[in-house]
Amino acid sequence: MAKPKAKKANTGGANSHIRARLDYLNKAAAFLQSTAQLPGPPARGTPNDHNEDDMDLSPNAARVVPQITGVLTDQNPANSHKTTSTTTTTTTPQHLTQLSRNYISQMRGVSLKTRTRLPIDVKRSFCKRCDTILTPGITSTQEIQNASRDRRKPWADVRVVRCGTCQTEKRFPQTEKRSRKLPDRRKDKEQKQVHVVDES
């Protein structure tokens, strides 16, 4: 008699590793975009220049990225006469923004290739044309438009999000419930009147 198979632990589904990768790429892109928008440290030679001893180490201070300079040598003894000097590597906001856009592009590519749907809040958080994360007031603008005459129809409200990079507009209808049509309201009113007459 065979032993019954032990139940497997719940590992999160068949595509949990893909969803984890999509989530990681989204969070990394959001972090890089927010880091690119932070004000950087003051440039050297400005009146605010100060020594390392009196640097602000509070948690609200901007993170200082170390600059790596020096000479790299090849470890191979045959090529010991070759030396290459490295240039100063700094992380500019443009570089971080481009890296963020690259991560969003990778996330979209992975979701398309694996045929995995992105959640609605993730899909609406980036521009489909230039892959920029849409941060309200910083990288995008939002407004409510109503094309009905004198804005009489509240269900015609549309939220328009405009990308600050490529000026592409995304339009999202607002989900207010429409009022019921007049014939339906009359039927309900008649049914209520009949119900009140029956009770009395």
Average pLDDT over residues 182-187: 85
The token duo for 166 is: 């490529």
Dihedral of alpha carbons 113, 115, 118, 123, sign: positive
Average pLDDT over residues 22-32: 94
Least confident of 24-33, 47-56, 167-176, 177-186: 47-56
| pLDDT at residue 36 tops 80 | yes
- Write down the mean pLDDT value for the chain: 76
| Distance in angstroms (rounded) separating the CA atoms of residues 98 and 26 | 14
Q: How confident is the model at residue 62 (pLDDT cuts 50, 70, 90)?
A: very low
Residues sharing a CB contact under 8 Å with residue 62, sequence separation 6 or more, in sequence order: 38, 39, 40, 41
The token duo for 53 is: 């001893």
φ and ψ of 51, to 5 deg: -75, 170
Are the C-beta atoms of 104 and 129 separated by less than 8 Å?
A: no
Predicted confidence (pLDDT) per residue in 101-144, tens digit: 999 999 999 999 999 999 999 999 999 999 999 999 999 999 99
| pLDDT at residue 63 tops 50 | no
φ and ψ of 50, to 5 deg: -145, 170
Q: How confident is the model at residue 80 (pLDDT cuts 50, 70, 90)?
A: low
Residue 174 is predicted with a pLDDT of 84
With 0.75 as the threshold, say if the pTM is over it. no
Judging by DSSP bridges, how do beta strands 70-73 and 140-146 pair with one another?
Answer: unpaired
Our CA dihedral for 149, 151, 154, 156, rounded to 10 degrees, sits at 60
